[in-house]
Amino acid sequence: MGKFSPRAVAGALKKRPLPAENAFLNTESVVIRITSIRETVRRREKHGTDTPEELHETFESRNSMRSDIRRFIRKIPKAELHIHLEGSLEPELMFAIAERNGVELPYHSVAEVRRAYRFTSLQSFLDIYYEGMHVLLQERDFHDMTAAYLARAHADTVRHAELFFDPQAHTERGIPLETVIGGIHSARVEMENRTGMSTRLIPCFLRHLSADSAMASLEDILRFRDLITGVGLDSSEVGNPPAKFTAVFNRARAEGLHVVAHAGEEGPPEYIRQAMDLLGSERIDHGVRCIGDPELVERLKNGQIPLTVCHLSNVRLRVFDTMADHNLKRLLDLGLRVTVNSDDPAYFGGYLTENYLAAQEALNLEPDDILTLARNSFLAAFLAPEEKGRYLEELDRFVSLFPHTQRGKRQ
């Protein structure tokens, strides 16, 4: 008997009465409905459908099941650990800011902007991404961009977000770092007060620029040491190995900053090793190309080094041909500490719920996989143990409403 069969779910429900506090989650019928719809769809797929009525019913069932799963995904408490704030700048806001700043964009409409978002590689994206952020001039612009992202994240039940931004992309254009950090920080404080969510800031160094430029940027950043949790490394990966920035990251670690780095997105497994061995990277951003190196996979597993995976991004940047080809589920099944993240949601077509949903659909994730991903997101966060504990307890309370996700409860 499958774990989604009505009998299994009904039996579990009997043993464990559901707390009646959430309008969506508290009814037995919803859980049983997900189960029976899923069974029906599977049976139909196996044995085929014959009448148009049955086909229609299958279609309806699919839609209904999809909306139930979507709701489960949206509601589950989670953390986001890999989001570039500048990559959350939606075309609508880009236009509004451009207008108020008197900046001319090379596009006439939002639709034209979106049409330009067809990428063939990381670099083809980065060229457009750096161009897009040219509208950001005033503190208010950084504030509005950050507030818009955090409101969107809150709607996805993101309880904790660690926010990347690219100081050099702004200071190189003559925008002082206080303008950038001032805007981001005030939005953070406002949204934390309004929603109770927590946030952290992680400025990243642009690896296509020199190590000297990164070191100068670090000194600039250290003027705001109290507002910063860690540092990261992003931009054009191939040809700019982590080794180039060893001295910069030594200095950052000496300041007690956390360290992360993009590695193994387009670059080879060797870059992941360098990120850990030379930079002291505590998490690997992307890291999906580790799969070509079994020894490295073993090391990532044994050390439970978190990978902040962004599969919508990977498919849009052609790291994988299709979502069905993505190795997220494989990495998860190998026991790696995988997390799901949105990277540059305004450019890649989805925030966190869409990312989870895309993986669920293409890779057939079970509820327990979703739970593991959410749990991993808190375990991998740069939070004090008691803060982590608080979020994990909330997750446990959520889980207790779903008897068919027992495996996810304890790891």
Residues lying near Zn ion in the complex (CB under 5 A) are found at: 343
Q: Which is nearer to ligand ES4, 4 or 125 (CB)?
A: 125
**What is the closest distance, in whole angstroms, from the C-beta atom of residue 59 to ligand ES4 in the complex?**
35
122: partner contacted, choices ligand ES4, Zn ion, none (Cβ within 5-8 A by kind) = ligand ES4
368 near 378, Cβ under 8 Å?
A: no
For ligand ES4, which is the closer residue by CB, 263 or 399?
263
Q: Is 139 in the site for ligand ES4 (CB under 6 A)?
A: no
* Cβ-based neighbour number of residue 381 at 10 Å: 24
Query: Using CA atoms, how far apart are residues 280 and 285, in angstroms rounded to an integer?
Result: 13
Instruction: For Zn ion, give the closer residue by CB, 144 or 162.
Output: 162
Please give the span between the terminal C-alpha atoms of the chain, in angstroms, as a whole number.
23
Interacting positions 153-182 with ligand ES4 (CB under 6 A): none
Q: Are 197 and 87 in contact (CB under 8 A)?
A: no
Site string for ligand ES4, 312-351 (x = CB under 6 A): -x-----------------------------xx-------
Q: Is 265 a catalytic residue?
A: yes
- Which of 87, 132, 203, 403 is the binder for ligand ES4 (CB under 6 A)? 87
- Which is the catalytic residue, given 80, 90, 139, 265? 265
Which of 34, 98, 113, 122 is in the footprint of ligand ES4 by CB under 6 A?
122
Long-range pairs for 23-31: beta carbons < 8 A, 24 or more residues apart: 24/71, 24/75, 25/75, 25/398, 25/401, 25/402, 26/401, 30/68, 31/402, 31/403, 31/404
Residues 26 to 85 in contact with ligand ES4, rule: CB under 6 A: 84
* Comparison of 84 and 329: residue with beta carbon closer to ligand ES4: 84
Q: Least distance from C-beta 343 to ligand ES4, angstroms?
A: 5
**208/407 with CB nearer Zn ion:** 208
Binding to ligand ES4 in span 370-409, by CB under 6 A? none
Nearest Cα residue to 163 out of 217, 199, 214: 199
Closest of 378, 373, 405 to residue 389, by C-alpha: 378
Burial status of residue 114 (CB atoms within 10 A of its CB: 0-12, 13-18, 19 or more): middle
**Which residues are identified as catalytic?**
265
List contacts with ligand ES4 (CB under 6 A).
Answer: 84, 87, 122, 129, 234-235, 262, 265, 313, 343-344
